[in-house]
Structure 1
C-alpha cells in the first residue's frame, strides 16, 4: 500500500519528536524534561506530542526503543559474525558516542524511571551482552583471553564504560568522555582479560 502525503508527514513528525526528545533528555535530564519542553523545542503544539504519544511514559519508551534500534543498527554496521571481542567493544564505544548525552542520562536516571522504560533498557543491554559474551566465549575457547564467566566479562566492561559516562562531568566536563577516553578504556580493559 502506498503511503499518502499525510501519512509520510505524520511519520516525519514522529521521528522529529523522537530526535528532539533524545536531545532534550540528554541535555536536561529525562525526569526534568516535560512534554511541553519537547513540543516547544520541536516547534509543534503540545497536542501534537500527545497525538503521537498518548502519555509521557509512551514518549519515553519510544525514545529508548529508538535509541536501542539505532545503537543496534550501528553495531551491526560495524560488525560481522567473525568480529573479535576488541572490535565489538570498539563498536560499542563508537555507537555510544553517537548517543552519549542521552545514554548517560539513561544510565544515571534508570532506577527512577517507570518499569516499562527500565525493561526496554534491559532489553538493549541484553542485545549488547549477547554480542560481547559470544565473542568472549569464542576467544576463551581459542585461548586468547582468560577463562572466566562471560557474564563477568560483560558486566566488568559495562561497569567501566558506565562509570566514566556517569562521571563525565569529572573526566571530560567540556566534551565526550568516550571520545576522550574510549581508546584508553578499551586498551586497559583488554589488558585485564587477555592472556
Structure 2
C-alpha cells in the first residue's frame, strides 16, 4: 500500500531527528545533550521531538540502536574476509573509525545510558567477538598464549582500544585516536601475544 505524503514526511522528519541527534551526541556527549539542542540543530520545534519519541530516554535508545547496528554491520562486514588476527584487529578499528566520535561517547558514557542503549553496545561488541575468537583459535593454538582464554584476550583488546578512545584528549587532541594510534595498538597487542615465544 502506497504511503501518504504525510506518512512520508513523518518518516523523513524522524530520519532527520535520528541523524541530528547522532551528530549532536557525537559532539556534545549523549547525557549532556538536551532535547532542545536537537530540536534547534534539526530546525524543528521542541514538541516535534515528542511526536516521534515518547521520551528523551527512548530517543537515546533508538539513536544508539540505529547507529550501533550500523557500526556492528560495518565491523562484521570488514571482519568476514580477514584471515590473520592482525587483519581482524585492523578491520575492527576501521569499523569503529568511521563512527569514532559517537563510539567514543558510548565508551565514556556507557554506565550512564538507558538499559536499551547498553544492550545495543553489547551487540556492537558481539559483532567482533565471534570473529576474534575464531581468529585466536586459528592462529594461537601452538603459541604460549594458548593458555589464556579467548574471551580474556578479547577483553584485553577492547580494554586497550577503549582506554585510548576514552582518553583521546590526551592521546589525540585533534580528535582522531584510531587514525593516529591504530597501527601502534595492533602491533603492541600482537607483540603481547607472542612475547613469551620470543624469549
1:1-195 to structure 2, matched below 5 A, reads 1-80=1-80, 83-141=83-141, 143=142, 146-147=145-146, 148-194=148-194
- Whether contact under 8 Å (1:18, 1:63) holds in the other structure is yes
TM-score calculated relative to the size of structure 1: 0.89
Q: How far, CA to CA, are the matches of 2:87 and 2:8 in structure 1? A: 37
Larger Cα-atom Rg: 2
Q: How far, CA to CA, are the matches of 2:180 and 2:163 in structure 1? A: 14
Runs of 4+ in 1 over 4 A off after TM superposition: none
- Whether contact under 8 Å (1:104, 1:166) holds in the other structure is yes
Question: What is the Cα deviation at residue 64 of structure 1?
Answer: 1.0
Deviations 1:104-125 (CA, angstroms, capped at 9, x unpaired): 1111111122223222222322
Q: How far, CA to CA, are the matches of 2:177 and 2:193 in structure 1? A: 23
- Whether contact under 8 Å (2:73, 2:127) holds in the other structure is no
Q: Which runs of 5+ in 1 are unaligned?
A: none
Query: How well do the aligned residues superpose, as a CA RMSD in angstroms?
Result: 1.9
SS class of match (1:146): helix
Q: How far, CA to CA, are the matches of 2:171 and 2:70 in structure 1? A: 26
Q: Which runs of 5+ in 2 are unaligned?
A: none
SS class of match (2:33): coil
Q: 1:78 to 1:2 in 2, by over 3 A?
A: farther
Q: How far, CA to CA, are the matches of 2:144 and 2:173 in structure 1? A: 34
